[in-house]
Structure 1
Amino acid sequence: MKQIVKRLLPRPALRAAAYRLPLRQRVRIAKLLVGGPSRTRSTGSAPQAGGPSPAHAWHDNLQTVTGLLEADGVDYFCLPHTDPRRSAVAVAAEHRAQVLRLLRGRAAEDTVIRTLDVAGRRVSPQRCAVVQVYRSAGGAANLPLTLDAYACEIEFWSTVKQQGWQAPRQVGPRNHKVGTVVSVDNPTQYVAAARLSAFVPRDAEPRYRSRAVYAEPGPNDVQFPIDVVYTWVDGDDPAWRSRKAQALGEDEDDSFAGLATNASRFTSRDELLYSMRSLHAFAPWVNHIYLVTDDQTPSWLDPTSPHVTLVSHKEIFGDVGVLPTFNSHAIESRLHKVAGLSEHFLYFNDDMILGRPVLPTQFFFANGVAKFFPSSSLVDVNPPAPADAPVDVAAKNNRRLLQSRFGTQLYQKMRHVPYPLLRGVLEEIETELREESHATASHQFRDRGDLSIPSSLAHYWAHSTGRSVPGSISHVYIDLGRLVAPIMLARLVRQRNVDVFCLNDTNSAAGEMDEQTEMVRDFMEAYFPFHAPWELSGRMDLTQRTAEPAVAAPVAG
């Protein structure tokens, strides 16, 4: 980012002057410097306000194509695309002219049609091997809703006969993960959308016409449910503030607790709202969301939503620990006690936000093994010291226990991205480290005896027992207190080129809180200008069909 700033403001005097400006003016400068159209539009542009999500667009584009083909009596079958964000439909090559005429005459006005060769290059309709079809609609910040990212692609398959074959075979024009040669007598079978793409939800309906060969999952297809758990606090709630003040007044280690009780740590800028919107847009395959709170409910959340379950601290602590608690380590030590939680789940802080479509395989292997994401930041090799930050003390406590249990050295921190976790590993840690785990749960504020279990210890524990391996994920971390934060936000909303981003506030000046909140809200609304189904302000059925007006659309050559 330093190089980016130098390129945008090449003279040191300009950079120094810009950094001395008030936050509001720096935000304006950032928008001017990094403004303009996105260069990566097809990698996950956000849905428009009140409009469909990418998963909805995937269904809608596929249903647009299959509906037209069925209405005209054209035989077809659906198959998995190599890009999970797209769908593919196979049609016999001899029907190419008929399909093109059908698209010209009956596709909706907002349908974009592109004729391509096998390499994805634009060619004339007479030479095309693939026709790309997608519904287009305007989005925020001049970013189209779908472009080609969630398109349906019609492939023209050849029929080949050969001596020794029991039946002719259909051969596709390009490679697919299951195969591009299918016998014509392979039975027709209707399959769930999840059989065609790992990106869409694992719903039973709607089902799509396919072939039996595509109906069974492959060895790399994740078949188990993956839940999401959030921990969240509304730091502006007067009742919560009163509980915190009373508990803090009784804390015996004010100096250490004070390092972790800065007001900015508990300030809510509705990050949770946008983080959950990012799940709706970019991880629609998530099975269920659990929100762990101190009996607080976000003002925008519909508590009756079937997609989200509110979990009280009382439910997961039971007779262990001390409540109320203001120690994230303590709360995290009890996540495996969430009733109904699946074995495989992702733990999100509310400041962890998906930036583009992600797949289950970015977090778990199909055989159930989890991934973890080590950071380049290191835990220093010295014992805990009075000057150490709470997070570093917990990491050193983790290291001591791992050395004792497995004879391994913990030296890397974890990236601040969603944590793939196994419920069984967390249960095992509580069983084998009962004293240390329950001690962590008993600390109302961060304590020198804390363990950081889901964010560090559990990953190394799982790795040492063969249940987790290192992975990689594209991410960016933005400290809102840094002078360069406005430029980083402006660049991110323009390019949308990371899997995960995190907005954190380590120790901002009190005078900038309101302006920071406005800056974050402007950024988030530009990135996620829509409503998720669990918000009180709007609902949406992912698979609901959009009406198709019978308006002609030209075929692009």
Structure 2
Amino acid sequence: MVRKQVSLNNPEASAFVSTYRSLVPVGARRKIVRRLPSPLRTSVKRSLASADAVRSAVVVRALGGSRKGGRHTTEGRLRVVRVSGRHLRAMEVSGATAWAARARNLHLLVAVLEEAGIDYFCVRGTSAAVPCVAVPARLRPELEAALRLGSEDGAGYVGTVSPGQMRPGALTASWRGLRDQRVLRLAWYVCDPSGNLVFGRESGCDLEFWEERDGQLVAPRPNRVMTEVAVDAGRCWTEQKRFSPVPAPYATGHARTLPEFAAALPDDHLFPIDVVYTWVDDSDPVWSAGRDAFRRGLDGGRADGGSLHEQAANDSRFTSRDELKYSLRSIHQYAPWVRDIYLVTAGQVPAWLNTDFPGIRVVDHREIFADPYALPTFNSHAIESQLHHIKDLSEHFLYLNDDVFFGRPVQPGHFFHPNGLTKFFQSKALIPSGRASTEDLPVNAAGKNSRGLIAQHFGTVISQKMKHTPHALRRSILAEIEQVYDKAHRVTQHSRFRSPSDVPIASSLHHYYAYHSARATVGDIRYVYVDLADDLAERRLNNLLARRNFDTFCMNDTVTAADPEAQNRMVETFLEAYFPVLSPFETASGITAPRPAPRVAELGRAGS
């Protein structure tokens, strides 16, 4: 029911609309857009989505699935979902995540092989995102028979590693049609109860058939370690998380491999990576009273005693719609490699936060500010200048605002090189020319100040701002900046509100300083920024929800909305649909501590 409602409310998710966009050239579509008023276009899209939903319901009934009932197993409910216009069966699992679906597929494949007594070894494949298992090619008939049985529940599928249709794994014809393929993709499909999240081939596991030649097993494709091994080479055991990462509190069991595949590699990220958020509860009356008192000029508001720019402390800068809850869900869903999460606040704790779960800690401003007289502060630049003082924070960490989200599975390599160098993501937006002044937008003044410090120190002139993405930072570099730019750092720390004298230490200066000292590189990430005040914001959110094709995204507003309630409803509807699975950091999840391993196996075992 939930999935149907989402589809009707989001015309961008309609298969008919998607087909129209793929068949009609961009130029022709633009002509249609110019001739048809926006309300009419929206009405047509909704009609197409409605017809699509009716067609979907007919197919679901024909396949035997049901949104209210349907076939059950002892560990989940089998239901019909739609993937790229096709209707497939998936196991409905509460708490389904991308990493758990991937680890589950590896776990199930290994379990089938172990049960059937088939020789295998896990491989460090060419892609860190997809686990891989090798089997001697001579055992293919026995393997196919075992996997047909392991897919009898209907949720197991097999296909090629290149994009294409997955075939039911329980059918002999599916395997017969893939006999010429030496590498296959296996997946036992999983979905969450809302049906908005479906994890299939992208979260699958590769199966390689290694041919025997002159006493050697030869790989069908290159990998990261070796492509030949003696037939009688010894096997060893290692944790499955070596091949399919899961968060530290979770476990998935062990699997067989070769010693060479169990060893750490130079391109592995062996260092811990933490996440730091800065967060404020604008509904807290004590906090709000303090902010308003300083904003009225009781303390001048700024380190230089001047008046505030209208965007330095307007209400939209502090508005909270529980974005943090969903940003944490995005980490739990798409970044299982994160070690610890630190939430930096002004003595506030979200009412829904489960602080008992391992790996999350609330940090008060008073714990990290070098000068307690700089508090209270209402300036994110000032707070960011003190992040490296967090106790036990890892050397490498990501800094996020609560309006930044992971949109799909990401790897440590998106943000850090294996040797520890950081990556930063430049925006096409440019820093305005000239010196900082009271007339500048706070963000522009800060960028100008960063440019001045870099020019003075390195003799180059920076021009680009940064994208609103997670910022990859190093604790030692931030500490170095505090010493090298002592005066600017101290002034920023003591600015209670955003000021023309601020320096954006975490979001700009760190990146350019590290780059000039050979400790950072320019990175590339698929990212989108949605301005909530824009008239097209809802359409852009619908597109984002329908495609889920960005690594990270940011939703932001710098001005107070004309209709705050409508905007809040729009944001809440989008976030709940995009991140329907609760994270263990929420008290409402009912999870207060990790359960015994193997955790991912609890997501349901095919054929059991």
The reply to whether TM is greater than 0.5 is yes
Kept in 2: contact 1:192–1:204 (CA 8 A)? no
User: Hey, what does 2:582 align to over in structure 1?
Assistant: 531
Structure 2 alignment gaps of length 5 or more = 1-11, 13-25, 54-81, 167-175
The one of 188, 197, 200 aligned to 1:147? 200
Code of the residue aligned with 2:326 in structure 1: it is Y
SS of residue paired to 1:443? coil
Structure 1 alignment gaps of length 5 or more = 20-25, 162-167, 553-557
1:406 & 1:126 partners in 2: Cα distance? 60
SS of residue paired to 2:310? helix
2:495 & 2:525 partners in 1: Cα distance? 33
User: Hey, what does 2:113 align to over in structure 1?
Assistant: 69
CA spacing shift, 1:121–1:241, aligned 2, 3 Å? closer
User: Hey, what does 1:23 align to over in structure 2?
Assistant: none
User: Hey, what does 1:346 align to over in structure 2?
Assistant: 398
SS of residue paired to 2:374? coil
Kept in 1: contact 2:150–2:606 (CA 8 A)? yes
The one of 94, 119, 124 aligned to 2:177? 124
Is it true that 1:492 corresponds to 2:544 in the alignment?
Answer: yes
1:432 Cα deviation after fit? 1.5
> Residues 440-459 of structure 1 correspond to what in structure 2 (within 5 A)?
440-459=492-511
1:41 & 1:297 partners in 2: Cα distance? 43
SS of residue paired to 1:55? helix
Code of the residue aligned with 2:579 in structure 1: it is F
1:202 & 1:304 partners in 2: Cα distance? 15
> Residues 180-329 of structure 1 correspond to what in structure 2 (within 5 A)?
180-197=227-244, 199-201=245-247, 205=251, 206-249=253-296, 250-252=298-300, 255-329=307-381
Kept in 1: contact 2:327–2:406 (CA 8 A)? yes
CA spacing shift, 1:520–1:105, aligned 2, 3 Å? same
Q: TM-score, normalised by structure 2?
A: 0.81
CA spacing shift, 1:550–1:50, aligned 2, 3 Å? closer
CA spacing shift, 1:31–1:481, aligned 2, 3 Å? farther
Q: Deviations over 1:4-42 (max 9, x none)?
A: 997497136714x689xxxxxx8x998778897998799
Q: Deviations over 1:201-230 (max 9, x none)?
A: 467943321111111222221111111100
Q: Deviations over 1:167-197 (max 9, x none)?
A: x211122222223222234331222345324
SS of residue paired to 1:256? coil
CA spacing shift, 1:41–1:191, aligned 2, 3 Å? farther
2:417 & 2:97 partners in 1: Cα distance? 26
Code of the residue aligned with 1:483 in structure 2: it is D
Kept in 2: contact 1:80–1:176 (CA 8 A)? yes
User: Hey, what does 1:164 align to over in structure 2?
Assistant: none
1:435 Cα deviation after fit? 1.9
Code of the residue aligned with 1:221 in structure 2: it is D
Code of the residue aligned with 2:375 in structure 1: it is L
CA spacing shift, 1:300–1:403, aligned 2, 3 Å? same
Code of the residue aligned with 1:92 in structure 2: it is P
Q: Deviations over 1:302-356 (max 9, x none)?
A: 1222121100000011435511110001000000011111111111011111111
Kept in 2: contact 1:397–1:449 (CA 8 A)? yes
1:526 & 1:54 partners in 2: Cα distance? 16
Kept in 1: contact 2:280–2:348 (CA 8 A)? yes
Kept in 2: contact 1:110–1:137 (CA 8 A)? no
Is it true that 1:543 corresponds to 2:587 in the alignment?
Answer: no
Q: Deviations over 1:440-467 (max 9, x none)?
A: 1111111121111000011011011110
1:550 & 1:521 partners in 2: Cα distance? 35
* More moved, 345-354 vs 379-388: 379-388
1:237 & 1:329 partners in 2: Cα distance? 21
> Residues 445-524 of structure 1 correspond to what in structure 2 (within 5 A)?
445-509=497-561, 511-524=562-575
User: Hey, what does 2:70 align to over in structure 1?
Assistant: none
CA spacing shift, 1:290–1:101, aligned 2, 3 Å? same
CA spacing shift, 1:550–1:33, aligned 2, 3 Å? closer
SS of residue paired to 1:209? strand
User: Hey, what does 1:87 align to over in structure 2?
Assistant: 131
* More moved, 121-130 vs 516-525: 121-130
Larger RCO (CA within 8 A; separation ≥ 6): 1
SS of residue paired to 1:439? helix
CA spacing shift, 1:238–1:360, aligned 2, 3 Å? same
Code of the residue aligned with 2:287 in structure 1: it is W
* More moved, 408-417 vs 316-325: 316-325
Q: Deviations over 1:365-400 (max 9, x none)?
A: 111111111111111221123321011111111111
User: Hey, what does 1:10 align to over in structure 2?
Assistant: 33
1:419 & 1:383 partners in 2: Cα distance? 25
1:374 & 1:320 partners in 2: Cα distance? 34
Kept in 1: contact 2:188–2:606 (CA 8 A)? no
> Residues 12-31 of structure 1 correspond to what in structure 2 (within 5 A)?
14-15=37-38
Kept in 1: contact 2:94–2:193 (CA 8 A)? no
1:149 & 1:415 partners in 2: Cα distance? 27
Code of the residue aligned with 2:144 in structure 1: it is L
> Residues 344-493 of structure 1 correspond to what in structure 2 (within 5 A)?
344-493=396-545
Code of the residue aligned with 1:267 in structure 2: it is T
1:533 Cα deviation after fit? 1.3
SS of residue paired to 1:309? strand
User: Hey, what does 2:144 align to over in structure 1?
Assistant: 100
Q: TM-score, normalised by structure 1?
A: 0.88
1:402 Cα deviation after fit? 1.3
Kept in 1: contact 2:528–2:552 (CA 8 A)? yes
User: Hey, what does 2:211 align to over in structure 1?
Assistant: 158
2:337 & 2:531 partners in 1: Cα distance? 29
Code of the residue aligned with 2:118 in structure 1: it is V
Kept in 2: contact 1:329–1:452 (CA 8 A)? yes
Identity %: 37
Code of the residue aligned with 1:495 in structure 2: it is R
* More moved, 308-317 vs 55-64: 55-64
